[in-house]
A and B are shown apart, each in its own frame.
Chain A
Amino acid sequence: MDTVIKIDKLQKKFGKFEALKDVSFEVKKGEVVGFIGPNGAGKSTTIRVLLGILKRSGGSVEVFGKDAWDDEIEIHKRLSYVPGDVALWGNMTGGEIIDLFIKLHGGAKRNKRDELIKKFELDPKKKAKNYSKGNRQKVGLIAALSVDSDLYILDEPTSGLDPLMEAVFQEEIEQLKNEGKSILLSSHILSEVERLADRVVIIREGVVVEQGTLDEMRHLTRSNVILQTTGDLSVFKNMTGVYDFQQKGKELSFSIDHEHINDLLKVAATMPMDKFEIVPPTLEALFITHYENDEA
């Protein structure tokens, strides 16, 4: 089976409020999909519907080809989930909770638990009520990564982790990716998504507004150009596809539509260049441009 998650025209209403209006996307086997959007856009709601915790109001949601609500238990056997704010029983130790979660999932990969506890530098003997936010998050991550699953649903999994631990997390995810596991990663740390995700789904106000590979998305937008030349600067200003033109002495900065980059290169090649940089848009820039455009 190729498609792991298949969401089609998903809707979810809370009373009169429409949290999800039209959400459709897929996650294929072995794919890491970044799921991004502003606060309140419906990311966590979508994930909870996927988990069979919320019942959808319309559309269809399939995981491993099974209905997310009706066959939740079958689905959950092959799935691991980490929420953005891991809540724990205060009077149990981290180690006890990890063991419980592993058991509830149905069995761990050998030694993986202890290896992860070491890697994430978690003290498993502490009571959960004494853990900081980051340490609670580690408990959730260790439990989820210790088991053998085919699908990992991660809802802002690294919130509260320090950069070193975030690096450990990224390593683990890359390893899973290499093993051919599917991952749905919702995150606000866009550099993380950029690094890990094969495809990105952007949701806004309960609607999926954009999806595709990062490259595809970049094609839809502009790259930033910085150049410094002793030649004629005004040529660039009047080129088609150039926006946000700014001049500071001999240095220019502007953005340019993807289809006009060739034109730019031709012109630039005829001039003596002191500096010439083309930076593809970061996901962050994509994200921001997207919303600015939408609001306009």
Chain B
Amino acid sequence: MNRNFALWEYLFIQYLKRDWKKIVFWIVGLGLFCGGFIPFFEEIAKGDGLLGMYETMQNPAMISIVGPTPISDPQAYTIGAMYSNEMLLFCGLFAFIISAMHVVGHTRREEDLGLQELIRSFRVGREANALAVMVETVLINLVLALFVCGLMVSFNLTGIDVTGSLLFGLSIAMLGIVGAVVGLLMAQVMSTSAGAIGGSIALLIVLYIVRATTDISNVSLSMMNPLGWGYLTYPFVENNWLPIVYALVFSIVGIFVAFVLESKRDMQDGYIPQFEGKAHASKRMLSVPGMFWRITRGTNIAWLIGFAVMGAAYGSVYADMQSFLNSNEMMQQMFTVQGISIEVSFTATIMFVVQGLAIILPIVMLNKLYNEERRGHLSQVYSTKVSRNQIYWSVIGIAICLSVFANLAGSFGLGGMAIASMSKSTMTFIDFIGAGFNYFAVFLFFIGLGGLCIGYAPKLGKLLYLYLGYSFMVSYFLNLLDLPEWVNQTSALNWMNRVPMESFNVSAFLIVGAIGIVMMILGAIGYHRRDLHEGV
């Protein structure tokens, strides 16, 4: 057994050296995000803030997004309780994604590149690389936990004690470690690194949505969900260490399974069979848009199905929500103020989540163009009579079509499932489609931004994800943090009214959409003029 890990410790030290900049950025960046919002929460907690927030957090819509709190007495809702209630799940998600991507990037991806083949030609054990990367990732997460704990304690607030802070940090770290294990498992099962990352994130999304429903219907079921092992520790409230133990057991078993899977497969092979393709191109793909559709087809369809499933999963929450309210008269009164039903307010909140995620798809498409350019895949296309304009507008066109489908997939899933699961409803199916379509202008805006990037600074295309993530965060905190209005307006997702709670704002829709289209045209001009970056 030891032979399989030969020289892992040397690789491990080498990897720390190689990655140290990334590691510092990872720990400080994520650490500040996880622990650094305390001053904001201190602001909110002033006066009756805690009570108000407690009520907000009882809303099933909020529970489905951030998770529950075990507190039944509003007076017991301390700042620590609020912080872990609102922040822990999200921080855990980030830790999960970053760790999974790190692990896949240094295992499966290096295998795909052929780097691991070279490493393995030395006196290095079969599992040495995987072990080195796992130890590295676990260590990073543990340091992150200590950093977060130290940061939180340093604010010196009553209600933020050392034990709770440590548990808060460790819960995040444990989700990071679980993410690393999931990444490692996916790296064995899938046959490409893109598949492994896609698989990890898809699984994460499924787990996230499943826990949304179980959090509302029956929290004890969430304890069986790996994501639950993070936020169900309830730091500062119950300080429950049991989920950490579950996560540890899962991780140890998972790593063991991954090692076995790895030792039983060939390098650069996976466990999902690959099928033979066609010898000839179908007529439909013999055009510029056809070509771009063909190379992105698999991911596009997977994303669209994902959005529909995500919508449907949230749609299934509506029934739980109704029974939840029917069982509690006080709550019922609380959430049906001003003639707005719980369904309507829930839809308005959840729709930005669904549509905000759906915007990822056109961004992926736009970045694909630059990726292909950079890798030199398009060299042979550029040298034909195909013009850059044709290429640019084909990609923009597909991105717009994908936006329509992604937008509808989310709304259909949400609306269809919601209507089907509710016994009586104040909303019609069209209300859902309308609430989703409201965000279509924002899709166009993001495509416009993407077009500008392609035309002038293609390297910045990746920042679109960052901006989308930022917009998502700002919109997410709209109800939670009392951010200044100008900060709220930096999120494109906040430019639209929250339909159906508020009315559809035609002028905002037209203006944002038009800005998007203008940016697309400007992008075309830039793309026509700039140097192509091949092999960069």
Q: Do A and B bind each other?
A: yes
Do the beta carbons of B267 and A73 come within 8 Å of each other?
no
List B contacts of A91 (CB < 8 A): 18
Q: Chain B residue with minimal CB distance to A77?
A: B123
Q: Which residue of A lies closest to B125 (CB)?
A: A73
Mark each residue of chain B from 239 to 261: 1 if its CB lies under 8 Å from any CB of chain A, else 0: 00000000000000000000000
Within 8 A of A (CB), among B135-162: none
Contact A101 B115 (CB under 8 A): no
Binds B, one of A102-110, A205-213, A283-291: A102-110
Residues of A within 8 A of B (CB): 14-15, 48, 51-55, 72-74, 76-77, 79-81, 83, 85-89, 91-92, 100-101, 103-106, 140, 153
Q: Are B124 and A76 in contact (CB under 8 A)?
A: yes
Cβ contact of B123, chosen from A48, A55, A92, A106, cutoff 8 A: A106
What's the Cα separation between A106 and B6 when bound, in Å? 12
Partner of A51, one of B10, B14, B120: B120
- Please, which residues of chain B bring their CB within 8 A of the CB of A103? 10
**Would you mind naming 21 contact pairs between A and B with Cβ atoms under 8 Å apart?**
A52-B120, A52-B126, A53-B117, A53-B121, A53-B266, A54-B267, A73-B123, A76-B122, A76-B123, A77-B123, A79-B121, A81-B118, A81-B121, A83-B114, A86-B114, A87-B110, A87-B115, A91-B18, A101-B122, A104-B7, A104-B119
Is A48 a contact of B117 with CB atoms below 8 Å?
A: yes
CB <8 Å contact, B118 and A54: no
In contact, B118 and A86 (Cβ under 8 angstroms): yes
Report how far A81 CA is from B116 CA in the complex, Å.
12
CB pair A101 B118 closer than 8 Å:
yes
Q: Say yes or no: A14 contacts B269, CB within 8 Å.
A: yes
Q: Flag if B118 contacts A140 (CB, 8 Å).
A: yes
Closest to A106 in B: B123
Q: In the complex, what distance in Å separates the CA atom of A81 from the CA atom of B124?
A: 13
Whether B3 sits at the interface, judged by CB under 8 Å, is yes
Name B21's closest neighbour in chain A (CB-CB): A91
Alpha-carbon distance between A140 and B11 when the two chains are bound, in angstroms: 18
State the Cβ distance, B390 to closest chain A Cβ, in Å: 30
Q: Are A51 and B6 in contact (CB under 8 A)?
A: no
- Judge if B113 is at the interface, Cβ distance under 8 Å: yes
Query: Nearest chain B CB to A146's CB is how many angstroms away?
Result: 13
Is B273's CB within 8 Å of the partner chain A? yes
Q: Tell me if B266 and A104 are in contact (CB < 8 A).
A: no
B266 contact from A55, A79, A106, Cβ within 8 A: A55
What mask results when residues 296 to 325 of chain B are scored 1 for a CB within 8 Å of chain A, else 0?
Answer: 000000000000000000000000000000
Q: Which of B101-120 contact A (CB under 8 A)?
A: 110, 113-115, 117-120
Interface centre among B14, B110, B273 (most CB of A within 10 A): B14
Given contacts A53-B267, A54-B266, A89-B18, contact A83 B120 (CB under 8 A): no
